[in-house]
Each structure stands twice: as C-alpha cells, then as structure tokens.
C-alpha cells in the first residue's frame, strides 16, 4: 500500500496523489475528493473537535393515541401529561410551554418520577418485564402504595409492586385471550364503571361483583374512554361513533357532542379546569373543549411513518409529510400548523422553492406535487416513473428542480414564475441503485447525488450529463449538505456501519454544525466539516424508533427531526 503512504486507519484510506479519502461500507469502496485548500494539511490522525453548541429539546409535536390507551391526564401543576416517542410531555396550555421527562430509554422498565422537578424517584423491573409494559396503575385505597403493571409477554404477566421499596409483591399469569372491557373508572362513592366493546356501560356496586346498573347501547361501537368528573357526573368517549357523552349521577344522558371525523375516534378523556375536557384520539390528536361548546384542536400529530421534512428559506416554518398522506406546514414559534392538507398518495419527500412561495412534495407512487405555501392550493401535479420519489430539490437560484427517484434516475425540470411553472428538461441516468440524497452547488451549476449502493455522482443540470472530471467538482461550494456520503460528512459513520444506519444529515446554514438522524433513535451533533474518521459528537435521545430526517431552521436557531414509527416531530433549540 505504498502509494497510500499518507495514512490508513481501519476502513479509511487517504491517498495524497489523488487527493482523496476512501471509506468502505459493507466492503464497498466510497472514494471522496478532498478540496485543495484542505489537502496539504489533511491527516487521518487529526482529532475531531466536539461542536461548541448543543441541542436542547424545545417542543414535541404529536401524541400517541393510535395504539395506546389511558395516556392523557391533568397534573396538579395545571399541565396535561401525555407521551409520544420516548418523551413524557408536560404541556401547560395556558402558558403555551412544554417540559419534558426524558428518563426512558430502550430498557423495559417502570419509572416513577416527580412531575414538578422531573427527577426519577424509583425504577422498577429491570430484566423482569418481557417485550413492553402496556399498562400501569396505582392502588386507590392505601394512598397509592402499590403499583400494578401488565407486560406484553405471551402470558401477559400482571405484577404488583411496593414501588417505594422497588420490590415485587406478587405476579400472576393472565389470559392471552382478551376480555372485551375496554375501559374502567372508579367513582367517588366507590362504584366502578366499565365500558365494553359492545358500546355498553356497566356499574359495579361498591364492595361486590354484581352489576347494579347498565346503560346498554351507550355508544355505537366500543366505549374507548371513561372519565369520572369532580361534580359526580361521568364522561364516556366512543370509538366508532366518535361521540363524547356526559352522563348524570343517575346515568341519564345530559349532553353529547361528536368529534370531527378528521381527528378520528376518541381514545381517552381527561378532566381539565372548570368544565374543560381534553380528548386524545386514535389519529394522534389532542382536543380541548367541553360537551357544551364542542372541541378544538390542541395537538395535531401525524398518524404513520414520517419521512418528508423541509424548512422554509426565510421564515420560522417547516413542512412535514408522511405515509398518512398528510402535509403539515408548521410554525416553530406558535407550535401550531398553519395548514394541513390531505393528498392522494403517501408522501416521502419535500422541498421549498428559494422564494418560499411554492413547495414540492414527492410521493411513493412516482407522483409529485407543487403546492402554494400561502393557500395550500395545488399548483401542479407531475409523474416521473412509478416508484418512490426520495428527494425533491430546487436549485439555489430557483431555475431548476431535481426529482430523485427509486427508479435510479434524477429528473430535471426548468422552473419559471417563482416555482409555479416547470418543464421537463431531461433525466440523469448513471446510478445503478435508487437515489437517496441530493445537494446543489451554491452557484446552481451542478448537483451531487448519493444512491442506495453508496455511489457519489455529479451532474450538470443544463445537459443532464454526468460530470466525470474530479477536478471540475473538487472545490465546489455546496449550498446544502444533506448527502450522507461525501468528504465533508464522512466522519458521521461509526466503525462497522452498514451504510443504511444513517438516514439523513443536515448542515447548519452558518456552516458550523452537522446533525445526523440514525436507525437507533438517536440524533447526533457534529462540527462541520466532519471529515475525520469516527468524529466526536453530542448524542441525543427522544425518538423511540428510527429517526428519518433532520433539518435546521433558516436562522439556525432550531433543528427539527422526524420519527419513523413514533410519528413525532421533535424541535431542538441550538444552545
């Protein structure tokens, strides 16, 4: 290896003659060109620097109602508490402020924590629970000294704990076949009310196991949530019928209201101050209101995997889109969507025109749309191939739009009228695998692509031809750094990485920071350029499954990350 005398570490080779670094992913070489200004002093042995900035979780968008129950409550602090991803969110609606408990990680444990200080008091069950803990409850009669938990093992073990001593008192196997009581609540007088899958309410008298009263057909379909109110009345929430019903102390119906179809069936109901109720829905929304006045949207989440994320070029706004066919344009300051739109196909990618007035959205079917960001009207719809559109990216000067597809091609369009009119110029053919990421040069003269087989290719948009001369692009200034393969970012890869571990990267607009999103639920923050093997980073949890995308706001005040199965959007303050 004498020709590579300038240095070699495991899986990375530095060649002085070529002015290149070669890394290996799954045994495949990935050559990357070093800019002339860095080449004379470059060494693989130089120690990377940690970034001077850090990320602090600022806001969590979303709620997990799709597959969970009984996860929305009012705290004595006046905050509502719920969870999404691996974050317990304490949300003060009056102050529009969130606090976050971040104690949960991959271990399957029950954590008892203080909702004022957010400090963990006790941890139960390390190595005891199997798969997951699906429900917990404090005892009512003895001041809550005991806690019971049910896990997701085949036997659905029910265990009872003296939580202050962190000891298990007893456990018992439950039946795998579910019983169709969907919810239960305790009344002040000691009676118990249950709601079942047939839409019935049953009252079980205090101290016995007999049904003392029944409200048959209280809901059309299952009763998903029950909440006993302070004044002795009862609220029930229906699944199929989406109704929230207020029942008197004698179980006569006093009032009812229907939740709008867009928000989905009722999952859980919690009592707020006065006559305010909070309703969690199966479409991952939280509503606020009352049975007298109706409900308005408080928290709106995505419902399925999220991959599309883009930030506005000159405002504190961002767009998200995903498998649920929803496109949200959100504001990072108000934490509310400016608008939401349902489209025909599951979405995969998004990108703003430099003017910010038009948004491109790529879908999984080969279709892609142009939307007006003010009115959310459809400006145009186009189709390129019939496979997933993994990237849509306007050039910095707004003259071109590049559309990268899973059919291995990049389709190039010329753009007029501020992004409202596009014309197909040609297609870039040369990759032997699907397009994953794309970055434009600062002067819009070329763009670079990554593909599923770890290839880096460069393209001239005017001719749609591949640029094969290394020297023509070696010193190119890039407007963005979203490609996960390239000299400026290769330090993000850990030893033994398989090439699919990192889903996205983003460089801050000031060029000092690089954030990555990976398959292990982690967000990393590096210094940029990140061109030393296995560079040092700050690491952050919060997502509970693969992190699919990352982007910085236009002014670098915040970073945003999107979750896959957790369907959440996390907003991080750069501090």
| Residue whose tokens read 């940029």 | 528
What integer pLDDT is reported at residue 133 of this predicted model? 84
Going from the first residue of the chain to its last (575 residues), give the mean pLDDT of each consecutive group of 10, the final group possibly shorter. Answer: 42 92 93 96 94 98 90 94 94 96 80 89 83 81 82 81 90 62 84 90 85 93 93 93 95 95 93 95 96 94 97 98 98 95 98 98 99 97 98 99 99 97 98 99 99 98 97 97 98 89 98 98 98 97 96 99 96 99
Are 558 and 552 spatial neighbours (Cβ–Cβ below 8 Å)?
A: yes
| CB atoms inside a 10 Å sphere around CB 3 | 10
| Model pLDDT, residue 5 | 37
H or E, element range at 470: helix 470-473
Separation of alpha carbons 511 and 556, rounded Å: 10
Q: Where does residue 261 rank: exposed (0-12), middle (13-18), buried (19+ CB within 10 A)?
A: exposed
pLDDT value, residue 6: 46
Residue pLDDT, tens place only, 479-509: 999 999 999 999 999 988 888 999 999 999 9
Of the candidates 528, 535, 536, 520, the residue with the CA atom closest to the CA atom of residue 559: 528
**What are the structural domains, with CATH classification, of the chain?**
2-41 (no CATH), 62-300 (2.130.10.10), 302-574 (2.130.10.10)
What is the C-alpha separation between 356 and 313, in angstroms, rounded? 6
User: pTM of this prediction?
Assistant: 0.92
């Amino acid at each position: 290896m004498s020709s590579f005398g300038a240095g070699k570490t495991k899986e990375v080779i530095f060649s002085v003659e070529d002015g290149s670094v070669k890394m290996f992913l799954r045994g495949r070489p990935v050559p990357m060109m070093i800019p002339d200004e860095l080449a004379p002093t470059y060494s693989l042995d130089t120690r990377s620097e940690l970034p001077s900035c850090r990320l602090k979780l600022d806001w969590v968008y979303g709620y997990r109602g799709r597959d969970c129950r009984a996860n929305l409550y009012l705290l004595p602090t006046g905050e509502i508490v719920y969870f999404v991803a691996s974050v317990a969110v304490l949300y003060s609606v009056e102050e529009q402020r969130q606090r976050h408990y971040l104690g949960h990680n991959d271990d399957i444990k029950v954590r008892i924590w203080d909702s004022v200080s957010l400090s963990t008091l006790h941890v139960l069950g390390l190595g005891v629970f199997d798969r997951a803990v699906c429900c917990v409850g404090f005892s009512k009669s003895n001041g809550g000294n005991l806690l019971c938990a049910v896990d997701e093992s085949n036997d659905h073990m029910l265990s009872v704990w003296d939580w202050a001593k962190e000891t298990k008192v007893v456990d018992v196997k439950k039946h795998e076949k579910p019983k169709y009581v969907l919810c239960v609540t305790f009344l002040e007088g000691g009676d118990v009310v249950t709601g079942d899958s047939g839409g019935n309410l049953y009252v079980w008298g205090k101290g016995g196991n007999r049904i003392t009263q029944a409200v048959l057909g209280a809901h059309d379909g299952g009763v998903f949530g029950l909440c006993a109110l302070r004044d002795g009345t009862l609220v029930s929430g229906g699944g199929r019928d989406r109704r929230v019903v207020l029942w008197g102390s004698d179980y006569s119906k006093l009032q009812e209201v229907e939740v709008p179809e867009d928000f989905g069936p009722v999952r859980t109901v919690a009592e707020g101050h006065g006559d305010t109720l909070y309703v969690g829905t199966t479409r991952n929304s939280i509503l606020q209101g009352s049975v007298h006045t109706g409900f308005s949207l408080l928290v709106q989440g995505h419902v399925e995997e999220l991959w599309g994320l883009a930030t506005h070029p000159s405002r504190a706004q961002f767009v998200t889109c995903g498998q649920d066919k929803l496109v949200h344009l959100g504001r990072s300051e108000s934490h509310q969507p400016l608008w939401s739109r349902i489209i025909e196909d599951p979405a995969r990618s998004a990108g703003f025109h430099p003017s910010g007035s038009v948004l491109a959205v790529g879908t999984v079917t080969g279709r892609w749309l142009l939307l007006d960001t003010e009115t959310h009207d459809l400006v145009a719809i186009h189709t390129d191939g019939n496979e997933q559109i993994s990237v849509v990216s306007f050039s910095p000067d707004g003259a071109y739009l590049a559309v990268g597809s899973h059919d291995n091609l990049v389709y190039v369009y010329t753009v007029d009228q501020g992004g409202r009119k596009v014309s197909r110029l040609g297609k870039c053919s040369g990759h032997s695998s699907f397009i994953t990421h794309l970055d434009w040069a600062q002067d819009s003269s070329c763009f670079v692509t990554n593909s599923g087989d770890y290839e880096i290719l460069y393209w001239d948009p005017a001719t749609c031809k591949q640029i094969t001369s290394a020297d023509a692009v070696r010193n190119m200034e890039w407007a963005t750094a979203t490609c996960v393969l390239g000299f400026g970012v290769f330090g993000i890869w850990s030893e033994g990485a398989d090439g699919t571990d990192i889903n996205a990267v983003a460089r801050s607009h000031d060029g000092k920071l690089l954030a990555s999103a990976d398959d292990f639920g982690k967000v990393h923050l590096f210094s940029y350029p990140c061109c030393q093997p296995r560079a040092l980073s700050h690491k952050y949890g919060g997502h509970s499954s693969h992190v699919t995308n990352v982007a910085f706001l236009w002014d670098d005040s915040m970073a945003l990350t999107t979750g896959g199965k957790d369907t959440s959007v996390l907003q991080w303050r750069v501090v």
